[in-house]
Homo-oligomer: A and B are copies of this chain.
Amino acid sequence: MTATLADVAARAQVSPATVSRVLNGNYPVAAATRERVLRAVDELDYVLNGPASSLAAATSDLVGILVNDIADPFFGIMASAAQAAIGEERGAREKLSVICNTGGSPERELTYLTLLQRQRAAAVILTGGALEDPAHAAAVGAKLARLADAGTRIVLCGRPPLPGDSVRATLAFDNRGGGRRLTDHILGLGHRRIGYVAGPPERTTTRHRLEGHRAALDAAGLDLDHLVVHGSYDRRSGYDAALELLRREPELTAVVAANDTVALGACAALRDRGFSVPEDVSVAGFVDLPFSADAVPALTTVRLPLSEAGARAGRLALGLEGVPPGGIATVHGELMVRASTGPARPR
């Protein structure tokens, strides 16, 4: 059978309490005793019983990272960076950071939060855009409040701030500002018939990026609402949306997409229709995933520092980094002008 702490104690000829102290390193223990205990641990191949430990201590070393779609590198990169930052923390009780993939489903998001609450998680990091459904937002808010009550640290990464004080820290992407600058760039190239491929209507990222786009158009005195198409954040949706935009506006000269994946889908559709990018139609994305710079043509986009944000979220979750003033830090994107956008050339 699996060795228990008592077994170790017996072998080391000390009390269970002493073994516990050695393992947790929270209390002074004589060097000789510690040696003996560690040897016994080794000999018995002892592994701490997590549940028992968590039960007694009333906390666990689990850190949950919630993502909407782990198959999307946007989340993969953030999660990877967060997990690396958490795994790096040597000393103390080592944290087990785990990624929970909600698949964008509100129910699964709540389920995971409950499961993490059940595990008495030490921290929870919520990444990416939130759902705007009020009922769901309220449910999540209530869940987070309860988690916070129980001592779980809550960090938001790439998600807009939440009212209330259950969230320890928020790293919010400046989606609105990025969207604004991107469309300003397109306008600066002389484009006036600009299509926009938005994400799912109910997500905050979608709305904010679109708001930035609209702000730029407003400033230019344009109203292009009829050239906004919504879809999911995947390649297929970008492909279909581009076709739809061409249907609505055959004279289209530019397509701005809600993210890079969607933008590349749009490029594919344009190519299939015989248009070349950027000669006939300019295309721009958002996020700057690793392959976007390698696409042909290289994609103009707004670079979000996903790794940096993820790592910082990880450190915030561990309390290794000071909370930004007001608990909220805005993370800005950088406009990356590349080959996929060029001067407007009316057809």
Complex interface: chain B residues within 8 A of A108 (CB)? 87
| Interface members, chain A 69-88 (any B CB < 8 Å) | 69-73, 75-77, 79-80, 83-84, 87
CB of A296 to closest CB in B, whole Å: 4
Complex interface: chain B residues within 8 A of A53 (CB)? 51, 118
Which of the segments A96-104, A174-182, A315-323 contacts the partner chain? A96-104
Using known A-B contacts A2-B150, A120-B51, determine if residue A84 contacts B103 with beta carbons closer than 8 Å.
yes
The interface size of chain A toward B, counting residues with CB under 8 Å, comes to: 62
Using known A-B contacts A96-B112, A264-B294, determine if residue A118 contacts B50 with beta carbons closer than 8 Å.
yes
Q: How far is A2 from B120 in the complex, measured between Cα atoms in Å?
A: 11
Q: Does A278 have its Cβ within 8 Å of any Cβ on chain B?
A: no
Copies of this protein chain in the complex: 2
Q: How far is A98 from B116 in the complex, measured between Cα atoms in Å?
A: 11
Q: Does A45 have its Cβ within 8 Å of any Cβ on chain B?
A: yes
Q: Does A290 have its Cβ within 8 Å of any Cβ on chain B?
A: yes
Partner of A70, one of B76, B114, B290: B76
CB of A9 to closest CB in B, whole Å: 18
Q: Identify 11 new A-B residue pairs, CB closer than 8 A, beyond the known A2-B149, A235-B294.
A: A45-B146, A50-B115, A61-B115, A70-B83, A70-B99, A71-B80, A80-B101, A87-B108, A87-B111, A234-B290, A265-B294
Q: Does A205 have its Cβ within 8 Å of any Cβ on chain B?
A: no
Q: How far is A72 from B75 in the complex, measured between Cα atoms in Å?
A: 10
Q: Does A15 have its Cβ within 8 Å of any Cβ on chain B?
A: no
A81 to chain B: closest residue by CB: B71
Contact, CB under 8 Å: A79 / B87 = no
Closest 6 CB pairs of A and B: A98-B98, A51-B54, A99-B99, A50-B118, A296-B296, A51-B55
Contact, CB under 8 Å: B69 / A71 = no
Using known A-B contacts A76-B73, A94-B111, determine if residue A51 contacts B99 with beta carbons closer than 8 Å.
no
Contact, CB under 8 Å: B96 / A50 = no
Contact, CB under 8 Å: A60 / B70 = no
The proximity string for A residues 287-331 relative to B, scoring 1 for CB distances below 8 Å and 0 otherwise, is 000110011100000000000000000000000000000000000
Q: Does A117 have its Cβ within 8 Å of any Cβ on chain B?
A: yes
Complex interface: chain B residues within 8 A of A118 (CB)? 47-50, 53
CB of A200 to closest CB in B, whole Å: 17
Q: Does A33 have its Cβ within 8 Å of any Cβ on chain B?
A: no
Q: Does A271 have its Cβ within 8 Å of any Cβ on chain B?
A: yes
Q: How far is A48 from B117 in the complex, measured between Cα atoms in Å?
A: 9
CB of A264 to closest CB in B, whole Å: 6
Q: 18 A-B pairs, CB-CB below 8 angstroms?
A: A2-B149, A47-B118, A47-B146, A51-B52, A51-B54, A51-B60, A51-B119, A55-B55, A70-B99, A71-B80, A76-B76, A80-B101, A83-B103, A87-B103, A96-B119, A98-B100, A235-B291, A295-B295
